[in-house]
Amino acid sequence: MNRMQLRFLSRSENEIFARNVVAAFALPLNPTLSELSDVKTAVSEAVTNCIVHAYPDDEQWIGVECETDGNKLHITVTDSGRGIADIAQALTPFYTSCPGEERSGMGFTIMQTFMNDFHLTSVPGEGTRVEMTKCFGGTAEADAR
């Protein structure tokens, strides 16, 4: 088992930093390119949510924790921001709380689809926690497809 913790400010330039750090941490598990791409996309979605929705007005801390467990990578993304009052609504594909800002409302749908396990908890006014797991087990042939 390996673990890491990352803490960074909610600046949009840190999206590329966060997804690449998590991808680099996952490399010893021998992910296929496709699996690694799924992880990067899911992390990018979770971190973007923190920047755009949790802390819309100022720069505060975002936490990313990773833990390996056999061929699995557990990722937890946390913020202490605004929180989500209606989780079912937030998880609805194409729902966005910011219409008119060219947002697709597909962030959570992508996290749920690209990862093997997904769990969202949130307390309005206190923060949000996204827990996701990716199981690596694809073959190189999967990349060739």
Partner 1 sequence: MDIQYLRKGQELYLYLKGELDEHSVVSLRGRTDALIDENASSKRAIFNLAGVRFMDSTGIGFLMGRYKKLSRYGMGMAIEAPDRNADKILSMSGIYSLMPKI
Distance of CA 138 to the CA centre of its chain: 21
The backbone region for 136, taken as left when phi is positive above 0, alpha when psi lies in -120 to 50, beta otherwise, is: beta
Q: Which of 22, 26, 29, 51 binds partner 1 (CB under 8 A)?
A: 51
DSSP, res 12: T
Neighbours of 66 (CB within 10 A): 20
* Bridge partners of residue 127, in order along the sequence: 123
* Catalytic residue (choose from 103, 116, 129, 131): 103
Contact region with partner 1 (CB under 8 A), list: 37-45, 55-63, 84-92, 125-133: 37-45
DSSP state of 62: E
**Active-site residue flag, 20:** no
Paired tokens of 56: 């819309």
Q: Contact region for partner 1 (CB under 8 A) — 73-81, 103-111, 115-123, 125-133?
A: 103-111
Cβ closer to partner 1: 35 or 127?
35
Can you give the binding site for partner 1, defined by CB under 8 A?
A: 12-13, 15-16, 19, 34, 37-38, 40-41, 44-45, 48, 51-52, 101-104, 106-107, 109-110, 113-114
